[in-house]
Homo-oligomer: A and B are copies of this chain.
Amino acid sequence: MVKSLNQIRNDFPILDQKVNDEDLVYLDNAATTQKPRAVVEALAHYYYTDNANVHRGVHTLAERATADFEAAREKVRAFINARSTTEVLFTRGTTTSLNWIAASYGEKVIGAGDEIVISYMEHHSNLVPWQQLALRKKATLKYIKMTADGHLDMTDAAEQITDKTKIVAIAQVSNVLGVVNPIKALAKLAHEHGAIMVADGAQSLPNMPVDVQELDCDFLAFSGHKMLGPTGIGVLYGKEAILNEMPPIEFGGEMIDFVDLFQSSWKELPWKFEAGTPDISGAIGLGAAIDYLSAIGMANVQAHEQELVNYVLPKLLAIDDLTVYGPHDPAQHTGVIAFNLNGLHPHDLATGLDMEGVAVRAGHHCAQPLMKYLKVPATARASFYLYNTKADADRLVDAIVATKEFFKHGTV
């Protein structure tokens, strides 16, 4: 990396604290990442020098705020290599982005008997909007199966996607299994059948280079807070031709061209979709996060995480009574690792790890259909990010072993 790992850690003040008398090891990055000083300072700088409403004012602050806000949009555009900023809509997060596709594009295009194809590993945010759309429209929701080690079954994908399919919606990276799904191949398949491809990028954007033109997906949704940015801001990328045909989802200030008493017309892209005062500071914070990630380089971020997985996955697999979900080959596994200690509920395991200062998640990870598919009620999940170290990985392994011992003997 350009910066040393130590330098990077120093950029994240939150990491330098004790939790339950132990040094914090934060391994809940798939839920949300921590923020570097640069991002928090971008917020403070905005509020202390430039804050004003955007696209409305003639005065100097308004012009500065508008320029800052639109500069953030351009940063997002460059980060995902979209053709134009008209294709970059700011939303509240992945969930809102996906709901917008379903509520606007889906509402318009889906009819009775049409098919929407997703997978068993989808996050509820890329599942329930399609499920409810299908219920509203009497359309068919279809699930692509997985292979034994947790990859998307592309043979099944080729069968599920048919000429009746209108929408294929798949996570680029699973938030549980740590697998990467072949969006480009899925997009090709979808397009061959006249369907559009929706990529849920919540877990991919933070961790790997993503190029929408290369993937040829029609939509891409992601969240700022999972990639060093603030909460409350997310992105919906959509191909311009498709966005142009879509009706807006919310109505109000900023998105109108002309309002008459009984009818109105809309602005051009991207503003057509951005009703009301946008999350200006959120967009600026996301821009600062993108600057931070770009300075390190997404390929380097990915390589660092891969190194950690190479290091920790074999150690986890070596723990007796520990089940690891998803592929066991580190080369096939991203920095998200779900596991269970046999005989112990993951909540108890997570509480044990928390007592050791190690923050992991336990639960269904907003993926209840996947839990059912895996036949487990819940799992624990550790997820690594650019500021995590091998020492963090060791702490995780040690804490799992100690917790296991505690519950075996009923005491430490």
Q: A124-B259, A231-B282, A281-B232 given as contacts; is B58 within 8 A of A362 (CB)? A: yes
Name the distance in Å between A175's Cβ and chain B's nearest Cβ.
10
Closest to A280 in B: B231
Residues of chain A in range 253-302 having any CB-CB distance to chain B below 8 Å? 253-254, 256, 258-264, 275-282
In the bound assembly, the distance between CA atoms of A28 and B54 in angstroms comes to: 12
Q: Are B279 and A232 in contact (CB under 8 A)?
A: yes
Residues in B with CB closer than 8 Å to A206 are: none
In the complex, identify which listed stretch (A80-88, A94-102, A184-192) lies at the interface while the others stay far away.
Answer: A94-102
Residues in B with CB closer than 8 Å to A353 are: 59
Query: A47 contacts the other chain (Cβ, under 8 Å)?
Result: yes
Name the one of B127, B129, B132, B359 contacting A52, with C-beta atoms under 8 angstroms. B359
In the bound assembly, the distance between CA atoms of A126 and B262 in angstroms comes to: 13
Residues in B with CB closer than 8 Å to A24 are: 61
Residues in B with CB closer than 8 Å to A20 are: 60
Query: A397 contacts the other chain (Cβ, under 8 Å)?
Result: no
In the bound assembly, the distance between CA atoms of A2 and B275 in angstroms comes to: 37
Name the one of B94, B263, B275, B347 contacting A95, with C-beta atoms under 8 angstroms. B275
Query: A40 contacts the other chain (Cβ, under 8 Å)?
Result: yes
Closest to A373 in B: B261
Q: How large is the interface on A (under 10, 10 to 19, 20 to 34, 35 or more residues)?
A: 35 or more
Q: Are B95 and A250 in contact (CB under 8 A)?
A: yes
Query: A43 contacts the other chain (Cβ, under 8 Å)?
Result: yes
In the bound assembly, the distance between CA atoms of A123 and B259 in angstroms comes to: 10
In the bound assembly, the distance between CA atoms of A341 and B52 in angstroms comes to: 24
In the bound assembly, the distance between CA atoms of A263 and B251 in angstroms comes to: 29
Q: Are B95 and A258 in contact (CB under 8 A)?
A: no
Q: Are A99 and B275 in contact (CB under 8 A)?
A: yes
In the bound assembly, the distance between CA atoms of A129 and B276 in angstroms comes to: 12
Query: A105 contacts the other chain (Cβ, under 8 Å)?
Result: no
Name the one of B13, B225, B231, B258 contacting A368, with C-beta atoms under 8 angstroms. B258
Residues in B with CB closer than 8 Å to A259 are: 124, 127-128, 131, 368-369
A39, A93, A143, A353 pick with most chain B CB within 10 angstroms = A93
Query: A223 contacts the other chain (Cβ, under 8 Å)?
Result: yes
In the bound assembly, the distance between CA atoms of A233 and B102 in angstroms comes to: 23
Q: Are A17 and B256 in contact (CB under 8 A)?
A: no
Name the one of B59, B225, B253, B278 contacting A354, with C-beta atoms under 8 angstroms. B59
Query: A72 contacts the other chain (Cβ, under 8 Å)?
Result: no
Query: A14 contacts the other chain (Cβ, under 8 Å)?
Result: yes
Name the distance in Å between A262's Cβ and chain B's nearest Cβ.
6
Residues in B with CB closer than 8 Å to A253 are: 95, 123-125, 366
Closest to A276 in B: B95
Q: Are A359 and B260 in contact (CB under 8 A)?
A: no
Query: A62 contacts the other chain (Cβ, under 8 Å)?
Result: yes
Residues of chain A in range 34-82 having any CB-CB distance to chain B below 8 Å? 34-35, 39-40, 43-44, 47-53, 56-62
In the bound assembly, the distance between CA atoms of A24 and B249 in angstroms comes to: 37
Q: Are A52 and B28 in contact (CB under 8 A)?
A: yes
In the bound assembly, the distance between CA atoms of A251 and B99 in angstroms comes to: 7
Query: A208 contacts the other chain (Cβ, under 8 Å)?
Result: no
Residues in B with CB closer than 8 Å to A350 are: 57-59
Q: Are A368 and B276 in contact (CB under 8 A)?
A: no
Residues in B with CB closer than 8 Å to A131 are: 251, 259, 261-264
Q: Are A252 and B124 in contact (CB under 8 A)?
A: yes
Q: Are A125 and B275 in contact (CB under 8 A)?
A: yes
Q: Are A35 and B51 in contact (CB under 8 A)?
A: yes
Q: Are B56 and A363 in contact (CB under 8 A)?
A: yes
In the bound assembly, the distance between CA atoms of A97 and B350 in angstroms comes to: 36
Query: A361 contacts the other chain (Cβ, under 8 Å)?
Result: yes
What are the 8 A-B residue pairs with the smallest beta carbon separation, nearest first?
A95-B276, A232-B279, A125-B252, A128-B251, A59-B359, A253-B366, A31-B53, A95-B252
Supply 5 A–B pairs (Cβ within 8 Å), ascending by A: A58-B363, A92-B276, A95-B251, A95-B277, A128-B259
